[in-house]
Structure 1
Amino acid sequence: MDLAFNEKQEEYRQQAREWLINNIPEGWGTPVFEWPDDEAERGKILRNWDRKLYEGGYAGISWPKEYGGQGLTHVEEIIYDEEAGKLNAPGGINVIGKLLFAPTLLLFGTEEQKQRFLPPLLKGDEVWCQGFSEPNAGSDLAAIQTRAELVGDRWVINGQKVWTSFAHHAEWCFMLARTDHDLPKHKGITLFLVPMNSEGITVRPLVQINGNRDFNEVFFDHVSIPQENVVGGVNNGWNVAMGTLGFERGTLALGRQVRFQNEFNTLVQISKSLNKNGENISQNSYYRQKLAELFAEIRILRYHGLKTISQLLNEGKLGPEASLQKLFWSTMHLNMGKLGLEVLGEEGPYIGKETVGRGVLQEIDLGSRGETIYAGTSQIQKNIIAERVLGMPR
């Protein structure tokens, strides 16, 4: 594998970095930035960032030009993600649409669907959310009970979804529903495109333990949509969903790796500022070993990411190996959060402007717990690796 970038690609990196420096909201990622309490105002800030990315030519970098993209390659996409990660640039409000729905539609959608949905998604005019998980179908996604029935020339959907990120801001939802109860549970599932302003949809927020308000419950009560709002064919939703989860598990590692490196650097700085039993934490052999392990794992994650992108470039798709990466990074980040609280010790319960690290390490610890659940729990990833990568019996 060639891990070097050529001269033209390095020029693109420099251009992307300069654009980001000049366009990131003033004070973003620092205590100076005033994040509004009003959820609608928060959404407006993130939507404006999506629009600014589009205007600057950094939205849909590897997408075909006919759908509003830049027509470049995944390499340029990687370069931008790395530079955005280094500067802790905003993720935008349409991260689900850009990173999960759009690649899925490019693979499975009709030409009419691509022309209709991809350009407004890139421009920030239409935000997407993902309706996969249900209260009794999280780890076992094939156990979904939300159902869709064809009545005349329209699908009528009833059921509930949960952990639906940005549903309270979204104009559209790509969701799974059961369309044939007589088939095995991995069959008889279809992926639908549902307008969020449809009559019969109710969105209820779920506030997380760290105070974030991105997740929601979504209820569908006799929601009617056109017959053509199906992606990948009726009763073929499981195959389409596996493509979506492959992108979620495997293509985001490089941007994450850089952000994890930033968090690690913060952890090291905080370690240097604290003492335990009269000894600086950064000089303690136990903590030095733990920090060294984390540093090595973050570097390993980078190479995992490069390998996955190489597979995507060469083969055009991701296999079950993406589960290796998802299990690796989520476990590593969870351990980083645990170590952060261990370093803070008695300072751990206190968050605020006057506290050590202003709550950064606590945020890592609380947020990382959910990362071992979404996109498939760690237990599910281990099953996939055992059965589909190692070929072990069930």
Structure 2
Amino acid sequence: MKLGFSAEDEAFRAECAGWLQAQMAGPFADIRGIPNLCDEIPRRKEWEQQLAAHRWSCIGWPEEWGGRNATLAQQVIFAEEYARAGAPNRINHIGVELAGPTILAFGTDEQKARYLPGIAGGTQIWCQGYSEPNAGSDLANVKTKARLDGGEWVVNGQKVWTSLAHYSDMIFVVARTEDGSVGPKGLSFLLMDMDQPGIEVRPIRQMNGEAEFNETFLTDARCASDAMLGAPGEGWKVAMALLAFERGVSTLGQQMQFRNELDAVIAAARANGKAADPVIRQRVAEAEIGLRLMRYGALRMLSNTDLSAIDGAALTYKIQWATWRRDLGELAMDVIGQAAELAEGDDYAWGALPNMYLFSRSDTIYGGTNQIQRNLIAERGLGMPREPRGSQ
């Protein structure tokens, strides 16, 4: 299977590739290829604004909201060229890829005018208030509550694993707005300002030394009554649509990053002679096959014109890539050997491949554990009976 591009698409590829490579070789060379999401935050914010200034920040959005109204093929091309150029992971990925498309789909004209310019302009960083201590993969078990007080929603609860919350300006929060409701009923989707007395962020240290995600406590935190996407009680519908956007075009850019990581493993194997080991060669071949299969699956997934719906390909993609990258991390450690156990420099920072190995352990947990993904595939994809659940 090969994705074909028109001459116009190839001209677009040359344009964006040329611009990205010039930026990564010039004014932003210092953040090219940096492995850790929390490194160089001020410079990454500058990078977001540079993308916005040249209308590369959210190319799939309508032009009136800062995008280029790019076709699906062009969005795929940009995602691939972005990773190929070694550009850093987007610090505002959640704003550009999740919050923005959801606001475009469900927001009122006033909400679009209020929130989209800051996202598109790289001046408003967003984080995601979904998971809770007892509502991770089981998102419908959310306990955070919101009540309407005059012209404001007052929110109380705790969120966890909120990536980059300590650098974010805004958060979207799934909260229970109907007393006595259980499961997906009675939930609402709120857009909240992080800079207020009722929100406290506590970073969580990970085993690779980063503190990329956090606990977020909401104590009488507030947002305006019109800062809700959809109607009260429609939060589950909005939240599920957002998860469908998460499995959109950015998956192809993610795979290009995987390509870079696999190439780095291969280069390490050639450098230290492990490439001569037949077992290592076989595992590299299996990784290559898995990566290509992911690409074909992602292209099939993107062929669905309704990106607000989760189809069978989308149901299987999370467990596919998470398991593949976990295995790649283990392969990297076996290739590098004992040298992978040594941190580098005065600050004891891990190299790119050891860091990838350590972080990849979380890939099978966040965004829905592998176990939960299997349930979703069985119940939603194959129509099997639902797993028995106790009363909530």
TM-score, normalised on structure 1? 0.91
Q: After the TM superposition, which residues 230-245 of structure 1 pair with which residues of structure 2 at under 5 Å, given as runs? A: 230-245=228-243
Q: Is the 8 A contact 1:250 1:323 kept in 2?
A: no
- Which of 282, 291, 304 is the aligned partner of 2:297? 304
- Return the letter of the residue paired with 1:82: E
Number of the residue aligned with 2:389 = none
Residue-pair matches, total: 380
1:315 matches 2:318: no
Number of the residue aligned with 1:277 = none
Q: After the TM superposition, which residues 105-254 of structure 1 pair with which residues of structure 2 at under 5 Å, given as runs? A: 105-254=103-252
Number of the residue aligned with 2:22 = 22
Deviation at 1:2, TM superposition (A): 6.8
Q: Is the 8 A contact 2:203 2:211 kept in 1?
A: yes
1:292 matches 2:285: yes
Per the alignment, in what secondary structure is the counterpart of residue 367 of structure 2?
A: coil
Identity %: 38
Q: Is the 8 A contact 1:320 1:384 kept in 2?
A: no
Number of the residue aligned with 1:328 = 320
Deviation at 1:157, TM superposition (A): 0.5
Deviation at 1:320, TM superposition (A): 3.9
Deviation at 1:49, TM superposition (A): 0.5
Per-residue Cα deviation, 1:277-300 (whole angstroms, up to 9, x for no partner): xxx321221111111000011111
Distance in 1 (CA, whole Å) between partners of 2:58 and 2:36 is: 27
Distance in 2 (CA, whole Å) between partners of 1:217 and 1:252 is: 26
Per the alignment, in what secondary structure is the counterpart of residue 348 of structure 1?
A: helix
Deviation at 1:198, TM superposition (A): 2.1
Per-residue Cα deviation, 1:50-80 (whole angstroms, up to 9, x for no partner): 1100112211211111222112222211111
Q: After the TM superposition, which residues 374-389 of structure 1 pair with which residues of structure 2 at under 5 Å, given as runs? A: 374-389=366-381
Per the alignment, in what secondary structure is the counterpart of residue 29 of structure 2?
A: coil
Q: Is the 8 A contact 2:79 2:249 kept in 1?
A: no
Deviation at 1:378, TM superposition (A): 1.2
Per the alignment, in what secondary structure is the counterpart of residue 161 of structure 2?
A: coil
Distance in 2 (CA, whole Å) between partners of 1:181 and 1:6 is: 54
Per-residue Cα deviation, 1:316-335 (whole angstroms, up to 9, x for no partner): 43314312111101110000
- Which of 37, 53, 56 is the aligned partner of 2:54? 56
Distance in 1 (CA, whole Å) between partners of 2:265 and 2:114 is: 45
1:283 matches 2:276: yes
Distance in 1 (CA, whole Å) between partners of 2:141 and 2:130 is: 11
Q: Mean alpha-carbon deviation: is it higher for 77-86 or for 301-310?
A: 301-310
Q: After the TM superposition, which residues 264-283 of structure 1 pair with which residues of structure 2 at under 5 Å, given as runs? A: 264-274=262-272, 280-283=273-276
Deviation at 1:93, TM superposition (A): 1.8
Deviation at 1:213, TM superposition (A): 2.4
Distance 1:126 1:267, change over 3 A: same
Distance in 2 (CA, whole Å) between partners of 1:34 and 1:56 is: 25
Per-residue Cα deviation, 1:161-203 (whole angstroms, up to 9, x for no partner): 1111121121111111111132331101100011111221111
Per the alignment, in what secondary structure is the counterpart of residue 168 of structure 1?
A: helix
Q: Is the 8 A contact 2:244 2:307 kept in 1?
A: no
Distance in 2 (CA, whole Å) between partners of 1:281 and 1:166 is: 37
Distance in 1 (CA, whole Å) between partners of 2:35 and 2:234 is: 46
Distance in 2 (CA, whole Å) between partners of 1:246 and 1:373 is: 18
Number of the residue aligned with 1:8 = 8
- Return the letter of the residue paired with 1:317: S
Deviation at 1:370, TM superposition (A): 1.4
Deviation at 1:308, TM superposition (A): 1.6
Distance in 1 (CA, whole Å) between partners of 2:44 and 2:329 is: 26
| RMSD, aligned CA | 2.2
Q: Is the 8 A contact 1:127 1:171 kept in 2?
A: yes
Q: Is the 8 A contact 1:171 1:197 kept in 2?
A: yes
Distance 1:361 1:246, change over 3 A: same
- Which of 238, 255, 258 is the aligned partner of 1:257? 255
Q: Is the 8 A contact 1:104 1:244 kept in 2?
A: yes
Deviation at 1:393, TM superposition (A): 1.6
Distance 1:376 1:249, change over 3 A: farther
Per-residue Cα deviation, 1:105-135 (whole angstroms, up to 9, x for no partner): 1111112111211111110121111100111
Per the alignment, in what secondary structure is the counterpart of residue 72 of structure 1?
A: coil
- Which of 90, 93, 96 is the aligned partner of 2:91? 93
Distance in 2 (CA, whole Å) between partners of 1:320 and 1:380 is: 16
Distance in 1 (CA, whole Å) between partners of 2:353 and 2:91 is: 24
Number of the residue aligned with 2:334 = 342
Deviation at 1:35, TM superposition (A): 9.2
Per the alignment, in what secondary structure is the counterpart of residue 220 of structure 1?
A: strand
Deviation at 1:136, TM superposition (A): 1.3
Per the alignment, in what secondary structure is the counterpart of residue 315 of structure 1?
A: coil
- Which of 74, 77, 80 is the aligned partner of 2:78? 80
Distance 1:91 1:107, change over 3 A: same
